[in-house]
Amino acid sequence: PASTIDAEVNVLNEIKAYTNGMSDFDKAIYIHDYLILNGEYDIELGEIIENTGTLTEELRKERYEKYALLVNGTGVCGSYALAYRAVLNAAGMECLYLSSDTMNHAWNMVKLDEEWYHLDLTSNKSIKDMESTIVLHTYFNLTTDQMEKTHKINDKELVHKITFDES
């Protein structure tokens, strides 16, 4: 529906306008932190995916796609990765969506200063107390070697090609 697309475009445009003039690194970290601070992991959907291994088309549209996180504020790893890619692409940056069938997980690669780095929004946590929230960046801008210590990459050929052949 048009209202769904309009709501998503409005969020993309707001973030794009706010990050206008920032360096690519500052955009990448601002958008990373924005999505973590304004989103909540959809535990119920995560359990449905884990238990059934699949999603109905209705659940995919409502709760898995980037719209779920950008507009509704909830999503699973795929929602975070799709939203991050959409916002970075709207801000003029190169960003890829990566996944692992073995892990049933998704994350991103982003190009900064002509180098590709991995980042995983749902593996990064925020710590909240009464006065503030701190976003951790444990899985922010990791090399492929660093990422492979904890993540199983589906398309290693693609990752190798973009991280080594483009340099």
Q: What is the pLDDT of residues 51-61, one digit of tens each?
A: 887 778 877 77
Average pLDDT rounded to a whole number, residues 132-152 = 88
Cβ atoms of 33 and 135 within 8 Å: the answer is yes
Task: List beta partners, residue 51.
Answer: none
Q: Name the nearest CA neighbour of 118 among 91, 90, 97, 93.
A: 97
pTM, 2 dp? 0.84
Average pLDDT rounded to a whole number, residues 86-94 = 93
Task: List beta partners, residue 151.
Answer: none
5: exposed, middle or buried (C-beta count within 10 Å: 0-12, 13-18, 19+)? exposed
Average pLDDT rounded to a whole number, residues 86-104 = 89
Separation of alpha carbons 35 and 79, rounded Å? 10
Q: Which residue has the tokens 């884990």?
A: 50
The pLDDT mean for the chain works out to: 84
Cβ atoms of 110 and 117 within 8 Å: the answer is yes
